[in-house]
Amino acid sequence: MDGSDSSTQIARQGAAEAYDGPPDQRTGARHAVYPDLSHDEVERFNFLAQMNHHLATRVAPMVESTWDARVEPRFEAEHGRKPKDRTEARRALLADPVFKTWSALRRMTMEQRQEAGRWAAVRQSESLAAKVASLSDHGRLTLDPTVLVPRYVAAVDHHCMPGSYHTELFPGDVSGPASYDSGIHVTVGGRGGPYNDGIGRTMAAWIKETYPDFKPARILDLGVTTAHNTLPMALAFPETEVIGVDIGVPVLRYGAARAEALGVRNVRFLQADASNLSQFEDGSFDLVMTTMFLHELSLSSMDAIFREARRVLAPGGLMLNMEQPAYAGMPPFEQAIRDWDAHYNNEPFWTTLHSLNLDDHFVAAGFDRDKLVKKVFTAPAGPAGHTRIGMVFVGAET
C-alpha cells in the first residue's frame, strides 16, 4: 500500500479488474412478463446480493475458523470427545456469537430479499396479471382445479417465501413467481447466468455428452415452477415435447407466459401433483427430470413420485434429479453448516433428504440397481457457504 485511498487504487487498476462479486441485477435477461423494476428496486437486489456475497466470502470462513479455534475445543473440554454428529455440532455452534451473528444476518437478508421482490411485484400485480393473461392463451397451459396443494407445501413457505408457489392475492395474481423470478439474483449472486438457467443448461449439456444418441420424444419436468431450468432443456431438444408439472397455479401461469415471451414453443404446463400422474400412460416419457425439487417434498411423496416416474418412463429412458449432495461421509461441522437451511430457512425435508441413501429409494420405486446414475459437480464458493460440492445429478436409467 502506498497510503492512497482505495478509490484511487481502484481508479488506477480499473474497477472492473479489481471487482470480484455478483454482477449488476440489470444484466439479467428481461422478458415480456418480467416485473418492471425501478432504479431503487434494482439497487435493493444488488445490495442484498452483496450482503450474501459478504456473508459467504467474509463471514462464513470465520464461522469455520471459530469452530476450529474455540467451538470444537470447548465441546471437547466439556465432553472429553469431539462432536459425534451434526446435531451436536449445531448445538455447540449456537452457543457461539460468530455463528449466531452470521445466522441472524443470513436470516434477515433472506427476509429482506423476499420483501424487496414482493414490493416490486405486488405494487404492479394487476398489470403483471394482465400481461401474463395476454400471453398464456395458446393452449400451452392446462389447469386442474381438483389438484390439492399438499401439506408439505401448504404448511411451509419454502426458503421463507411468503405464500410459496401456490398463493394468489387475487384470481390471476402472479406476484409470487414474479418476485421469485426477479429475486433469484440475490440468492445465487448471478451465478446461474442471465436467465438463471445454469442448472438446466448444465443438465442438457451433460445428457448430450453422456448419452450422445439419446433422442427423447417426450420430457417430463416435475416441480417445474417458472421453468427456469426447463427452457434450456426444451431448447437443447427442439424436436422434443416437454411437459412441466406443478401444483402451484401462479408459477404455472407465469412459467407458461415466460416461455411464450421467450419464444420457446415445445413446452407445455400442467397443474398436477407429481405423486399421481394417472393422466399419463405407462412408458410415455423418455426423460423425467427435477431440479432442486426433491428437498422440498416429504418422504412419502418423494417415494410416490419416484414410483410414478418409473411407471411413465419408457425402456431406454432416464430419470435425472439435480440436488445438493448427501451428507454421508462429511464431517459433523460441514453437515451442520449445510443443514442450516433445514432449521432456519424453512426447508424441513432438507435434513431427511440429504441423510437418505437415495439409491435404495430408486430401487424400491422399481429402478434397477445396476442402472443407477450419479454425477458430482464441484463449484466455487456460493452464497450459502457450501464450498466443496456444487451439485449432484442422481437418478436411474430404464
Partner 1 sequence: MSIANALLHASDKPAGKRPYFLDPEVERVMTITMAIAQELAVARQRIDTLERLLEAKGVVPRAELESFTPSPEQYAERALWSQEYINRILRIVQQEGQAAEAGAKGDLPIPDVTQEIS
Residue ranges that bind partner 1, judged by CB under 8 A: 39-40, 43-44, 46-48, 50-51, 94, 99-101, 103-105, 107-109, 111-112, 114-115, 118-119, 122-127, 155-157, 160-164, 169, 343-344, 346
Residue 186 or 396 having the CB closest to partner 1: 186
- Tell me how far, at minimum, the Cβ of 70 lies from partner 1, in Å: 17
Residue 249 corresponds to which amino acid?
Answer: V
Enumerate the H helices of 27-71 as residue ranges: 39-54, 60-66
Separation CA 320–CA 329 (nearest Å): 23
The CB-of-129 to partner 1 minimum distance in angstroms stands at 10
Closest CB to partner 1 among 41 and 308? Answer: 41
Nearest distance from residue 159's CB to partner 1, in Å?
Answer: 8
Nearest distance, CB of residue 244 and partner 1, angstroms: 25
b/e 43-69 (16+ beta carbons within 10 angstroms → b): ebbbebbebbbebbbebbeebbebbee
Q: Rounded to an integer, what distance in angstroms lies between the CA atom of residue 54 and that of residue 174?
A: 31
Nearer to partner 1 by C-beta: 18 or 364?
18
Task: In whole angstroms, give the CA distance from residue 216 to residue 219.
Answer: 7
Number of Cα atoms under 13 Å in the Cβ half of residue 352: 14
Minimum Å gap between C-beta 254 and partner 1 is 16
Q: Helix 97-123 vs helix 125-136: angle between axes, to the nearest 10 degrees?
A: 70
Asked if 186 and 333 count as a contact pair (C-beta separation under 8 A), the reply is no
Question: For residues 40 and 213, which CB has a smaller minimum distance to partner 1 in the complex?
Answer: 40
Of the pair 247, 277, the CB lying nearest partner 1 is at 247
